[in-house]
Structure 1
């Protein structure tokens, strides 16, 4: 897999039937190593190792319903009180981040009501804080580190 714009991390990778799998510490199992999963696992490690978010507050690849349609988010981070503080949308490195990508995470956020959004393809990262009173997002240089 190609290097990404994250610090280097050691991952548990194994081959099964000539296909690579990467260990997901959140789901506690090996997942087929596709380009988007490579980005997702870097995001999980970034959140834990660089930003200090506890593993117990991170959730990966869960289903949600928006307008009676099933969708799946990539990564969410909760506060200890159970409020979603961050939603992350991961794309494969070959996928350009466009307005459509932001529209997708904004639709998810209508249901989830997170404080912060992150969109990444592993090479480019975009961070924003939600301003619900003005109904807009404010772009940031980075997301905040974990604090209780």
Structure 2
């Protein structure tokens, strides 16, 4: 009697002839298969790949505290510190609105937190790298005004 799935297989007293059923382990429990290598070599490759994954996870967790750290405001001049306080308070209000909008969903709150932190970092970098306005008696004042787009001259 022929099976519809495999025309070469037929039932006999011993079972199916020509029908091979492979018993396999679940995918996560099988070691990496590398053809034409010795067992010792395969074990070493599997060990190296698992060490690589562990190292990547470790490095990711080491980098997280540095990313989320509060920027050092004391390194800024007084004028920029005041600007930073205004920017930070505005960003805090936006963050609170975002959290209210989430309605207690942890995934949404996490996205708000990540966006808030990245915006704070971006704004702080802008403050650090912004070109300082030269004093009125500075010799480069004319050049600065020409390049800043105001078009004013002394």
TM-score when normalising by structure 1: 0.18
TM-score when normalising by structure 2: 0.17
More strand per residue: 1 or 2?
Answer: 1
More helix per residue: 1 or 2?
Answer: 2
